Structure 1
Amino acid sequence: MTDLTGKVAVVTGSSRGIGRAIAIRLGARGAQVVVNYAHGAQGAAETVAAIIAAGSDAVAVQADVSDPGQIEALFDAARSRFGGIDIVVANAGIDETGGPIVDVTEADYDRMFGVNAKGAFFTLQHAARTVNRGGSIVLIGSGSTSRPVAGFGLYASSKLVGNYLVGVLAQEIGEREVTVNTILASATDGAGYFSAGADNDELRTLVQNASPLGRMGSVDDVSDAVEFFIGPLSRWVSGAQLLVSGGQN
C-alpha cells in the first residue's frame, strides 16, 4: 500500500467515474486532494465527502479544462489551499465516440479537441510548471488509441495528443525527478459509456465477451495503475504508456 501522507494531489474531472475513484484512492492513501469538476458540483461534493470520511482532506474546485485560464486558476487554488503540488492526474475528458469521420462537424471537432487535446495540453503544462521535485504526473488516456477502430476517429485522435505530450514531458522535466506516464484505459465499468444507469446492456455484453479475462475493467483497476505510477515501485518508469485492458488489444 502506497503511503501518500503529506502529499498533495490534483485530479481533474473527479466528480464521477474514473476520476472520482482515483481521487478517493489517493485520499485513502493519505493525500490531500483537489477535486476538480466542470459541471458536476454535487458529484464533486460527494467525492470530497468520501475522501474526508477516509481520513484525509479535500476541496472541490470548479474549472473547465478547455479554458487555459481556468486551469491556471485551478492550480493556483490548489497551492493556496494546500501548498505545493506533488501529484497531478489529468483525467478530465469527453468520452464519446464521435461517430464516422464523414459525419463529424467542425463543432463536434472543436468540442472534443477542446477538452481532450487542448485541455490535456494545458493541464500537463501547468502540472509540469508546478509539481514538486520528485512528483508524479499521470494522464488518463484511452485504449482506443492503440489501434484504429471504425467510429472512433474523432475521439481516439483527440486522445492521441496527450500520449505524445507525456513522452516529451518525461524528457523535458526529468531532471527534476518528476515521472510522467499515461494509462490507456479500456472500456471501464462505471465510467463514460458505461456509467451507472446508462442503457448499454448489448454493448456491455460484447465488451465482456471480448475480454480474455471475461469481464470489463473497473474504476478500481485504473486506480491501481495510478497508485503504481505515483508510488516508489515506479520511480524508474517515465514516458510510458500502460494499456490497462485485461489483455484485450
Structure 2
Amino acid sequence: MVMLENKVAVVTGSSRGIGKAIAERYATRGAHVVVNYTSHKAAAEAIVRSVEDRKGQAIAVQADVSKVDEVHCLFETALQHFGRIDIVVVNAGLELTGLPVTDVTEAQFDRLFNTNTKGAFFTMQAAARHVADGGRIIYIGSSTTGYPRAGYAIHGGSKMAPLYLVQVLAQEVGPRGITVNAILPTATAGAGLHTHVTEDAPIRKFMAEFSPMGRMGTPEDVANVAEFFASDLASFVSGQHLLVTGGGLA
C-alpha cells in the first residue's frame, strides 16, 4: 500500500468529482489535504469532515484558479496552515462540448481558457515555486486532447497547453527531485459533464462499445493513478501523459 503519511496535498477543484476522489484517497493514505473550491462551500466542508473521519487533517480554501491573486492566496493559506506543500493536483477545470467552432462566442472562449489554460498554468507555476524538494505536481487533463472530435474544440483546445507545460516544467524542476505528470481520463461517470449520468444514458452505451473494458471511467480509477504519481513508486517518472481509458483511444 502506498503511504503518504504527513504529506501535504493541495487539490484544486476538489469539492466534487475526480478532485474529491483524489483528496479522500490521499487522506486515506495519511496525507493532510487542502480542499479547494470555487463556489461549492458546503460540499468542500463535507470533504473536510470526511478527511477528519479518516483521522487526517484538512482545510477548505475558496479560490478561483482563473484569478492569479486567488491562486497565490490558496498556496499562502496552505503554507500558513500546514507549513509545507508536498503534492499539488491541478484538477480544477470547466467543460463545454457539443459546440461547433463556428458557434463559439468570445465569452465562452474566455471562460474556458481562463480556467483550463491560464488557471492551470499559474497553479503549476505556484506549485513549482512552493512544492518541497522531492514533491509531486499532477495535472488532470482530458483524453480528448489526443482524440479530436467535432464539437470539442474549445474543451480540448483549452487543455492542450498545460500538457506542453507538464513536459517543460518536468525539466525545470527535475533537479529538485520534483516530478510533473499528467493524467488524461476518459469520460468519467460522476465527474464533469457526466456528474449525474444515468444508467441508460447514451454515453454509457457508447463507452460500452468504444472501450475494450466496456464501461465509463470512475473517479476512483483516476484516484488510483494519482496515488501512484504522488508516491515514492513514481519518483523516476516525470514529464508523462498517462491515459486512463481502459484501453480506449479517448
Query: Aligned equivalents of 2:83 and 2:42: distance in 1?
Result: 25
| TM-score, normalising length: structure 2 | 0.97
- Which residue in the other structure is 2:194 paired with? 194
5+ residue gaps, structure 1: none
SS at match of 1:132: coil
Distance 1:103 1:48, change over 3 A: same
Task: Decide whether the 8 Å contact of 2:204 with 2:215 is kept in 1.
Answer: no
Query: Aligned equivalents of 1:39 and 1:199: distance in 2?
Result: 28
Number of residue pairs matched? 249
SS at match of 1:212: coil
Residue 183 of structure 1 pairs with residue 183 of structure 2: yes
- Which residue in the other structure is 1:47 paired with? 47
Residue 35 of structure 1 pairs with residue 17 of structure 2: no
Task: Decide whether the 8 Å contact of 2:89 with 2:140 is kept in 1.
Answer: yes
- Which residue in the other structure is 1:110 paired with? 110
Query: Aligned equivalents of 1:203 and 1:220: distance in 2?
Result: 19
Superposed, which structure 2 residues align to 1:112-191 within 5 Å? 112-191=112-191
Residues 37-62 of structure 1, C-alpha deviations (whole Å, 9 max, x = no match): 00111110111111111110100000
Structure that is richer in strand per residue: 1
Task: Decide whether the 8 Å contact of 2:85 with 2:131 is kept in 1.
Answer: yes
Task: Decide whether the 8 Å contact of 2:181 with 2:238 is kept in 1.
Answer: yes
**What amino acid does structure 2 have at the position aligned with 1:4?**
L
The CA RMSD over aligned residues, in Å, is 1.2
- Which residue in the other structure is 2:56 paired with? 56
Distance 1:135 1:196, change over 3 A: same
- Which residue in the other structure is 1:231 paired with? 231
Task: Decide whether the 8 Å contact of 2:190 with 2:197 is kept in 1.
Answer: no
What is the Cα deviation at residue 225 of structure 1? 0.4
SS at match of 2:168: helix
Task: Decide whether the 8 Å contact of 1:194 with 1:204 is kept in 2.
Answer: no
Task: Decide whether the 8 Å contact of 1:194 with 1:200 is kept in 2.
Answer: no
Residues 5-26 of structure 1, C-alpha deviations (whole Å, 9 max, x = no match): 1110000000000000000000
Identity %: 51
SS at match of 2:160: helix
Task: Decide whether the 8 Å contact of 1:44 with 1:60 is kept in 2.
Answer: yes
